């Protein structure tokens, strides 16, 4: 498979700006906007301290109680918003310039996820770190993550590779951190809430400690501005001008990671500011000559980032009641805005990457296929037996036989009544996600497409969470229906936007990632706004856990799986033709549109029922089809059964390991599959570069 560069990614304009003097006026306008937002932000809050009281507090004429509210809470919050927005906007601008990639940012480079994991590891040790030490830990983690993403994606080699590498690494790192939160709840208390991103402060201590770090990073980047401008012309041109390309890139990435670490330490991850702020400034450089150089573009991006953070906080407090707005992180709003930006930028990408067939055409012998199926069946049967017998209570096969015949004791019956549905849920969800991934990859001819990456799984989780948080008494079929509705809406959105010019790799995957980010932000918002009991139920779906599943929960996914396998096997020839190219099916008289639509609808049903049954489980729809094609070739009469067996095996093994290895603590199957699937996803990206 091939993932290629898809647009001119230079961060500098290709047309001559037409005005120099207008840049000062635009900058003044941005400064005025930031000032207005700062004033409005100070006047918002739960306490009855309005604009007049704020003015009196600033002039020293207010009541002591009002003054304490303004000085201890609102001014630090506003100042933190200014600082965080400025450093993230600057970091995003220089990362895009030095990588010549318009989608580079602290989010897409997994800097936030690396910092989150580093702080989680530090918290799990039980060591209480001061803020400056926490910033150092976050800096090391964020820099390491950025180095991995840039190493895997390359610099200036295409937009989609960087976003895919960053997204995959982010999912894996976040899964590891969530595992730490579950294993060490006391040591990491408060870290989950911090990860949502909030500029709320208790005094100026945090701002004052992070301010010197931010100033050092900003000053360092301003000193490298001329070298960054030279890099935007291309490596050869920069070397011709005497610029040390490699050392300049390393310096800029280190300084950007330092700025991101300061922002993360102060307010948690505030998503997508580093992506949106430079995107808003970039069109100005095509019109105003003053923004054509990094020395002026970076301050403009800093001001725009500050306006984004403060504007999000103001909008949040204007739309949500004051007592609820306190609990809603500002990062949720910026993530929603950033998701829209990512989708819009994906639609503007000049997509030249073809949606070619994912693998070489090879047809192993029938004996190889039968041997593969036999080995997988034996492995799956052994795994199922182990999953049923092993757990907090060890059982024997005789106990299972007695339970099946209704002759087991009360203890054995209770254990198996709770354990068997869990095993069946894992098997059904894994098989359904694997089949859904097989269908999507065949229809789109995109080897990186799968329900989780394309946002379909996230849409199903959003639908289920909406129902769980609004109708706590909803039953199995209600949750399945809500998950299907959510998956259907996101699928229509993603496939509809990406269908222009065919389901090409870059547009489809980038749109899917943007939609997935939006659904994740909405889910976080719902969990924060609902009561704790419903929030706990909602988090159960999101962790990919089979805990508490019953036999009725397995019925929808089982029915969808039977129908899906039947349709896939019956239409296997059509799947083979659709996965080849655009012309061959038409020459044979096959109507592509109805066939594609039918397979996509089926994949949505499979993904939705899997989410309803076992929550959000990622990467199964990617790993299983790839591994199946590697084992038995590309003919779907063979790929479908092998992929289904592999998916069921993977999720069942993940569920078994999650509930036994660290017993009595338990980790959801979704966390385990993310840890397993992330290296495989990154391996596919590395292989595609060769």
pLDDT category, 539, cuts 50, 70, 90? low
Rounded Cα gap, residues 541 and 463, in angstroms: 11
Task: Name residues whose C-beta falls within 8 Å of residue 31's C-beta, 6 or more positions apart in sequence.
Answer: 303
pLDDT category, 226, cuts 50, 70, 90? confident
Contacts 24+ apart (CB under 8 A), 662-667: 662/183, 663/391, 663/392, 664/392, 665/182, 665/183, 666/182, 666/545, 666/547, 667/179, 667/182, 667/183
Rounded Cα gap, residues 4 and 153, in angstroms: 11
3-class DSSP state of 288: strand
Taking residue 131's Cβ as centre, other Cβ atoms within 10 Å add up to: 14
- Mean pLDDT throughout 217-236? 86
Task: Name residues whose C-beta falls within 8 Å of residue 530's C-beta, 6 or more positions apart in sequence.
Answer: 469, 538
- Mean pLDDT throughout 65-71? 64
Rounded Cα gap, residues 51 and 41, in angstroms: 10
Output the pLDDT for position 118.
86
Output the pLDDT for position 502.
55
What's the pLDDT tens digit per position in 16-29? 445 556 778 888 89
3-class DSSP state of 55: helix
What's the pLDDT tens digit per position in 324-378? 667 677 778 888 888 888 788 777 765 544 444 444 455 777 888 899 999 999 9
What's the pLDDT tens digit per position in 282-310? 888 778 777 778 888 899 999 999 999 99
Output the pLDDT for position 11.
41
More confident residue, 446 or 600: 600
Output the pLDDT for position 303.
93
Output the pLDDT for position 618.
77
Output the pLDDT for position 543.
66
Asked if 106 and 95 touch (Cβ cutoff 8 Å), the reply is: yes
Task: Please spell the DSSP secondary structure of 383-424, one letter per residue.
Answer: HHHHHHH-SSS---HHHHHHHHTT---HHHHHHHHHHHHHHH
What's the pLDDT tens digit per position in 126-137? 777 777 788 888
Output the pLDDT for position 137.
85
3-class DSSP state of 19: strand
- The tokens describing 232, both together, are 């935007």
pLDDT category, 253, cuts 50, 70, 90? confident
pLDDT category, 13, cuts 50, 70, 90? very low
Residue 52 has pLDDT above 70, yes or no: no
DSSP 47: S
Asked if 451 and 433 touch (Cβ cutoff 8 Å), the reply is: yes
Taking residue 169's Cβ as centre, other Cβ atoms within 10 Å add up to: 23
What's the pLDDT tens digit per position in 488-535? 888 888 888 877 655 555 677 778 888 888 888 888 777 777 766 555
Asked if 490 and 458 touch (Cβ cutoff 8 Å), the reply is: yes
Asked if 44 and 318 touch (Cβ cutoff 8 Å), the reply is: yes
pLDDT category, 612, cuts 50, 70, 90? confident
3-class DSSP state of 51: helix
Q: What is the mean pLDDT of the chain?
A: 79
Asked if 500 and 621 touch (Cβ cutoff 8 Å), the reply is: no
Output the pLDDT for position 615.
78
Residue 424 has pLDDT above 90, yes or no: yes
More confident residue, 450 or 414: 414
What's the pLDDT tens digit per position in 376-404? 999 999 999 998 998 777 888 888 888 88
Q: How far apart are the first and last CA of the chain?
A: 10
What's the pLDDT tens digit per position in 549-604? 888 889 989 999 999 999 998 888 888 888 777 667 777 667 766 777 788 889 88
Asked if 114 and 269 touch (Cβ cutoff 8 Å), the reply is: no
| pTM, two decimal places | 0.77
What's the pLDDT tens digit per position in 271-287? 788 888 888 888 887 78
Q: Is 420 exposed, middle or buried (0-12, 13-18, 19+ CB in 10 A)?
A: buried
**Residue closest to 546 by CA, chosen among 666, 395, 677:** 666
Rounded Cα gap, residues 1 and 689, in angstroms: 9
More confident residue, 189 or 566: 566
């Amino acid at each position: 498979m091939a993932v290629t560069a898809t647009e001119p990614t230079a961060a500098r304009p290709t047309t001559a700006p037409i005005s120099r003097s207008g840049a000062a006026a635009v900058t003044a306008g941005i400064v005025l906007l930031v000032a207005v937002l700062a004033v409005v932000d100070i006047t918002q809050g739960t306490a009855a301290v309005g604009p007049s009281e704020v003015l009196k507090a600033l002039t020293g004429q207010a009541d002591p109680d009002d003054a304490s509210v303004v000085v201890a809470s609102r001014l630090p919050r506003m100042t933190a918003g200014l600082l965080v927005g400025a450093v993230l906007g600057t970091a995003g601008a220089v990362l895009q310039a030095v990588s010549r990639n318009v989608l580079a940012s602290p989010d897409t480079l997994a800097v936030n996820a690396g910092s989150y994991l580093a702080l989680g590891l530090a918290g799990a040790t039980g060591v209480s770190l001061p803020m400056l030490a926490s910033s150092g830990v976050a800096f090391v983690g964020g820099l390491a993550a950025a180095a991995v993403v840039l190493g895997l994606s390359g610099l200036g080699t295409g937009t989609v590779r960087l976003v895919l590498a960053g997204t995959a690494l982010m999912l894996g790192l976040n899964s590891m951190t969530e595992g730490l939160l579950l294993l060490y709840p006391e040591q990491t208390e408060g870290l989950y809430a911090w990860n949502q991103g909030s500029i709320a402060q208790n005094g100026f201590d945090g701002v004052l400690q992070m301010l010197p770090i931010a100033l050092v990073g900003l000053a360092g980047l301003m000193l490298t501005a001329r070298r960054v401008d030279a890099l935007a012309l291309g490596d050869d041109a920069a070397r011709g001008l005497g610029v040390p390309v490699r050392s300049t890139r390393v310096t800029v990435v280190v300084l950007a990671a330092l700025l991101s670490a300061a922002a993360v330490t102060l307010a948690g991850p505030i998503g997508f500011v580093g992506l949106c702020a430079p995107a808003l400034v970039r069109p100005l450089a095509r019109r105003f000559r003053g923004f054509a150089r990094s020395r002026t573009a970076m301050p403009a991006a800093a001001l725009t980032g500050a306006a984004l953070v403060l504007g999000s906080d103001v909008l949040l407090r204007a739309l949500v009641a004051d007592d609820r707005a306190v609990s809603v992180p500002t990062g949720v709003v910026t993530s929603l805005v950033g998701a829209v930006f990512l989708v819009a930028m994906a639609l503007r990408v000049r997509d030249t990457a073809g949606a070619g067939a994912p693998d070489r055409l090879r047809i192993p012998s029938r004996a190889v296929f039968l041997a593969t199926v036999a080995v997988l069946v034996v492995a799956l049967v052994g795994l199922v037996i182990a999953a049923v017998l092993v757990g907090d209570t060890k059982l024997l096969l005789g106990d299972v036989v007695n339970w099946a015949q209704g002759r087991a004791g009360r203890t054995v019956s209770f254990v198996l009544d709770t354990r068997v549905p869990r095993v069946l849920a894992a098997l059904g969800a894994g098989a359904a996600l694997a089949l859904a991934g097989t269908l999507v990859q065949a229809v789109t001819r995109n080897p990186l497409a799968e329900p989780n990456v394309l946002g379909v799984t996230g849409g199903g989780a959003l639908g289920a969470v909406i129902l769980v948080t609004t109708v706590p008494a909803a039953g199995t079929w209600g949750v399945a229906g809500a998950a299907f509705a959510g998956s259907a809406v996101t699928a229509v959105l993603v496939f509809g936007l990406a269908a222009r010019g065919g389901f090409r790799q870059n547009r489809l995957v980038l749109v899917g990632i943007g939609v997935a980010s939006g659904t994740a932000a909405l889910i976080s918002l719902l969990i924060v706004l609902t009561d704790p009991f419903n929030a706990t139920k909602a988090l159960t779906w999101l962790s990919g856990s089979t805990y508490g599943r019953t036999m009725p929960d397995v019925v929808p996914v089982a029915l969808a799986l039977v129908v899906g396998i039947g349709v896939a096997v019956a239409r296997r020839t059509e799947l083979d033709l659709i996965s080849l190219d655009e012309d061959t099916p038409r020459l044979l008289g096959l109507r592509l549109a109805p066939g594609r639509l039918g397979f996509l609808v089926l994949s949505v049903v499979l993904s939705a029922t899997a989410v309803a049954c076992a929550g959000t489980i990622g990467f199964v729809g990617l790993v299983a089809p790839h591994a199946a094609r590697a084992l038995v070739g590309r003919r779907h009469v063979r790929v479908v059964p092998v992929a289904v067996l592999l998916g069921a095996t993977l999720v069942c093994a993940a569920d078994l390991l999650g509930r036994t290895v660290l017993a009595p603590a338990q980790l959801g199957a979704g966390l385990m599959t993310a840890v397993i699937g992330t290296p495989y996803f990154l391996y596919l990206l590395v292989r595609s570069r060769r």
